[in-house]
């Protein structure tokens, strides 16, 4: 995991979290980033702590605080929507425009048959995602996404709502395979500002290249 550090200073780490690794250990157990926190301590007094979450199958930038004040400052940034996050995704559709906004409230819904998922519902929490086309390949499209809110599964649910599910997102209609969603860049408006950019994971390279997007 040390080889996946994108930024490191006395207060903040930004990691390139691999797809398939949960940030927190779930009730069913299994590997998670928590298993790596002792190694990432690197002689510091406290274990570094994630300031936000990425879905298990989402790769890319994840910020951790290395001190109690840094953890508190990062938590505030994410809670107040001040952290600037950029994602790349490959979707299984061809949006009719080059850019736009999805502003649709999201609600967690659970059924015995299907389990839980996020759905667009007027009773849900306000949610906003800005999107921009960065490449096309027939009925597949590479998008740059900027979430302005931080709801669970927000990007996946919003794109499915638009009719453009993410490639490999079986939960939201994108078919089988690996999820083509990358937390590409993260900017933290601290003093000084921290920023990092994650490389494209191997499983996304081919689809992005076909859309004309390089690594």
Question: Which residues does the annotation mark as catalytic?
Answer: 55
Range list of β-strands (E), the chain: 5-8, 12-17, 49-50, 59-65, 84-91, 99-103, 106-111, 115-120, 128-137, 140-147, 181-188, 194-197
- Residue 100, both tokens: 């736009």
Nearest residue to 82 (alpha-carbon basis) of 158, 193, 167, 172: 193
Nearest residue to 131 (alpha-carbon basis) of 90, 79, 171, 81: 90
What gap in Å lies between CA 185 and CA 199, rounded to an integer? 9
C-alpha distances out from residue 165 to 100, 107, 122, 134, 158, Å? 16, 18, 21, 16, 8
C-alpha of 128 from chain center: 15
Locate tokens 């490191």: which residue? 8
* CB count in 10 Å sphere of residue 122: 7
């Amino acid at each position: 995991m040390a080889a996946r550090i994108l930024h490191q200073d006395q207060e903040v780490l930004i990691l390139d979290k691999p797809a398939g690794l949960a940030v927190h250990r779930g009730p069913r157990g299994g590997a998670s980033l928590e298993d790596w926190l002792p190694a990432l301590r690197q002689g510091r007094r406290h274990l570094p702590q994630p300031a936000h979450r990425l879905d298990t199958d989402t790769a890319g930038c994840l910020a951790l605080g290395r001190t109690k004040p840094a953890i508190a400052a990062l938590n505030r940034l994410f809670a107040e929507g001040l952290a600037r996050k950029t994602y790349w995704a490959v979707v299984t559709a061809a949006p009719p425009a080059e850019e736009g906004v999805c502003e649709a409230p999201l609600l967690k819904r659970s059924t015995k048959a299907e389990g839980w998922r996020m759905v667009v519902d007027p009773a849900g929490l306000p949610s906003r995602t800005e999107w921009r086309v960065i490449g096309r390949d027939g009925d597949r499209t590479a998008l740059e996404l900027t979430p302005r809110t931080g709801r669970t599964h927000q990007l996946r649910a919003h794109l499915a709502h638009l009719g453009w599910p993410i490639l490999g997102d079986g939960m939201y209609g994108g078919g089988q395979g690996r999820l083509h969603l990358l937390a590409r860049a993260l900017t933290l408006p601290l003093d000084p500002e921290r920023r990092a950019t994650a490389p494209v994971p191997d499983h996304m390279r081919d689809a992005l290249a076909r859309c004309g997007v390089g690594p």
